[in-house]
Structure formats: structure tokens, C-alpha cells
């Protein structure tokens, strides 16, 4: 069965439909030539292939070449308690599943927010893995499936030392993942575009909408900062290839939030 995939956001739906609610939302946009759909078969026939490259110690990037839709890459965290797939892409094929299988497969999947839902159910089925999504984003689920596990509250430890934090920036259910044992125990944060690593990779920022340039509410940024406070981390892995804060990540997030709030609250 060929489930429809939105060309603009790359999210796969369970059933055909005329519109993509994720793109109709003010945080995204409908493609300039109108709503268009594709399928995995069409993408494979068009020559998309998996791309697997190390992004950091114990962290493998998974994307596609050429990129699809928003073009983010996912990350495979090689934890001793089982690999966790953080975030999601649209592409998947037998070669990619085999390659990830050789790296130990996937024990659990967690996704920062709806723009990156991609083909999460295809990946969940390929590896018989649950998908952890925050319940505040329940309405955006494009392909309902028993593999999806909604959670509520501020934090959830999905494996030893791997904790989801509902930072709530960008989407109410927006979540980041903290890996305590990464970087020889210094920790790492996997931030999607909830805490966005920017071009100057010593900094991050916070937006309600990236394509439409709508800034995030200061109170939401403050709440995220408060929730992140107890977690030490050296690296911050953003959502695109090489978008990584390499040193002193926790201080970079704090400094960046302070700069953001200084600009956002200066009305005169
Ligand atoms: Zn869409
Ligand atoms: Zn997004």
C-alpha cells in the first residue's frame, strides 16, 4: 500500500486527503504550486537513497541524498541499552534498513515535533520499535498506529540516562532528548528545531515558525530554559547535517536564551 506523503513537509499520512494540516498551519506553508503528494515508491524511483554518516561520538546521522522536503537528518544514538533513533526522515528503503540493522537496529524512536514525523510508522514497523511523541501534539499525528506512545508531563526517561524533555518551543509538544552518558559523561542534547542550532554554531535560537519568521513567546523560552537547567551537556545536535554546538552546550543555550529575551523584550 502506498501511503501519501506531503511533498512540502515530507510527512506520510495514513489515508489520502486533499490537504496537509501540518502545512496549512501558520508554522509551515503550502507549496507555491498548491498541495502536492508523492509516495515512497515514487521517491525511490526518482533516485533518493539513504545517507549514513557519523555525526559525533556514538552518534550516526541518517538522511537521504538528494534530501527530501525540509531536509533534516535523523540521528542514531548508539546507547548500551539499545539504539535510539532521534527524529525522523521521509526516505526509507531496504538498503537503509539493512545498514541500520547492521549497526544494531533501533530499540526506540523519539521525534522532536510534527514537521519531522516523516515516515515514522514505516521505521517503527521495520524495527518493531515504539515511537515516543508528546501528548500535546496528538492532533498532528498523520498516520495513527499502535506503535505511537504518547506521554504527558515535563520529562520522560525512555531508557537509562536518555530523557525526553517537553521544552514546548515551536510546538506545545516540542521535545528534546538528553543523553546523560554521551561525551564521556559530559552529556549531549538532541534538539531538533525546538532549540535551533544556528549558522554561528556557538549559538541557538527559538522560533514559533521558521519559514514565516514568527518568534517564540518569551514565557515559552523561559519555561524551556527552566526545564533544561538540571541537565548538563557539552554538545547540542541540531536538526541538519553538521549543525552542532561542539563545546559548552548548556552555557551556549543559556547565553542564547538571554540574548533572545534581551531582543524580544526590548520594546522601547
Ligand atoms: Zn505537509
Ligand atoms: Zn519545525
pLDDT of 243-255, one tens digit each? 999 999 999 999 9
- Which ligand lies nearest the alpha carbon of 29? 1
- Which ligand lies nearest the alpha carbon of 6? 1
What's the pTM value of the predicted model, to 2 decimals?
0.97
- Which ligand lies nearest the alpha carbon of 5? 1
- For the chain, what is the mean pLDDT? 97
- Which ligand lies nearest the alpha carbon of 11? 1
Would you place residue 268 in the very low, low, confident or very high pLDDT band (cuts 50, 70, 90)?
confident
Q: Quick check: 233 pLDDT over 90?
A: yes
**45 CA distance to ligand 2 centroid (A)?**
27
Instruction: Supply 225's cell numbers.
Output: 530554559
**268 CA distance to ligand 2 centroid (A)?**
30
- Which ligand lies nearest the alpha carbon of 27? 2
**160 CA distance to ligand 1 centroid (A)?**
34
Q: Would you call 97 helix, strand, or coil by DSSP?
A: helix
**39 CA distance to ligand 1 centroid (A)?**
13
Mean pLDDT, residues 207-219 taken together: 98
For ion ligand 1, residues whose CB falls within 5 Å = 6, 8-9, 20, 22-23
**258 CA distance to ligand 2 centroid (A)?**
22
Would you place residue 257 in the very low, low, confident or very high pLDDT band (cuts 50, 70, 90)?
very high
- Which ligand lies nearest the alpha carbon of 208? 2
Would you place residue 168 in the very low, low, confident or very high pLDDT band (cuts 50, 70, 90)?
very high
Q: Quick check: 108 pLDDT over 90?
A: yes
**117 CA distance to ligand 2 centroid (A)?**
10
**8 CA distance to ligand 1 centroid (A)?**
5
Q: What is the pLDDT of residue 199?
A: 98
What is the spatial distance between Cα 96 and Cα 92, in angstroms, rounded to a whole number?
A: 6
Could you give the count of Cα atoms lying within 13 Å of 241 in the half-sphere of its Cβ?
13
Long-range contacts of 204-211 (CB under 8 A, 24+ apart): 204/236, 204/238, 204/245, 204/252, 204/253, 204/256, 205/256, 205/260, 206/169, 206/170, 206/257, 206/260, 207/170, 208/27, 208/170, 209/26, 209/27, 209/28, 210/27, 211/27, 211/28, 211/29
- Which ligand lies nearest the alpha carbon of 13? 1
Mean pLDDT, residues 58-86 taken together: 97
Q: What is the pLDDT of residue 88?
A: 98
- Which ligand lies nearest the alpha carbon of 140? 1
What is the spatial distance between Cα 202 and Cα 198, in angstroms, rounded to a whole number?
A: 8
Mean pLDDT, residues 153-175 taken together: 98
Would you place residue 1 in the very low, low, confident or very high pLDDT band (cuts 50, 70, 90)?
low
Amino acid at each position: 500500500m502506498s501511503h501519501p506523503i506531503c511533498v512540502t513537509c515530507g510527512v506520510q499520512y495514513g489515508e489520502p486527503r486533499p490537504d496537509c494540516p501540518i502545512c496549512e498551519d501558520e508554522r509551515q506553508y503550502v507549496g507555491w504550486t498548491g498541495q502536492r503528494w508523492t509516495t515512497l515508491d515514487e521517491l525511490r524511483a526518482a533516485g533518493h537513497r539513504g545517507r549514513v554518516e557519523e555525526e559525533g561520538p556514538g552518534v550516526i546521522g541518517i538522511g537521504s541524498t538528494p534530501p527530501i522536503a525540509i531536509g533534516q537528518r535523523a540521528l542514531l544514538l548508539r546507547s548500551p541499552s539499545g539504539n535510539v533513533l532521534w527524529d525522523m526522515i521521509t526516505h526509507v528503503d531496504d538498503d537503509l534498513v539493512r545498514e541500520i540493522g547492521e549497526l544494531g537496529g533501533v530499540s526506540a524512536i523519539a521525534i522532536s515535533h510534527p514537521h519531522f514525523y516523516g515516515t515514522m510508522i514505516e521505521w517503527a514497523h521495520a524495527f518493531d520499535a515504539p515511537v515516543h511523541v508528546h501528548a500535546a501534539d496528538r492532533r498532528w499525528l498523520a498516520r495513527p498506529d499502535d506503535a505511537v506512545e504518547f506521554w504527558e508531563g515535563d520529562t520522560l526517561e525512555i531508557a537509562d540516562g536518555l530523557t525526553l524533555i517537553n521544552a514546548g518551543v515551536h510546538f506545545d509538544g516540542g521535545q528534546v532528548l538528553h543523553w546523560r552518558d554521551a561525551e564521556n559523561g559530559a552529556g549531549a542534547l538532541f534538539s531538533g528545531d525546538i532549540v535551533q542550532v544556528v549558522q554561528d554554531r556557538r549559538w541557538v535560537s527559538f522560533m514559533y515558525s521558521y519559514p514565516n519568521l514568527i518568534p517564540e513567546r518569551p514565557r515559552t523560552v523561559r519555561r524551556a530554559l527552566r526545564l533544561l537547567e538540571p541537565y548538563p551537556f557539552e554538545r547540542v545536535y541540531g536538526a541538519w547535517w553538521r549543525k552542532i554546538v561542539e563545546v559548552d552546550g548548556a552555557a551556549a543555550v543559556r547565553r542564547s536564551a538571554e540574548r533572545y529575551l534581551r531582543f524580544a523584550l526590548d520594546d522601547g
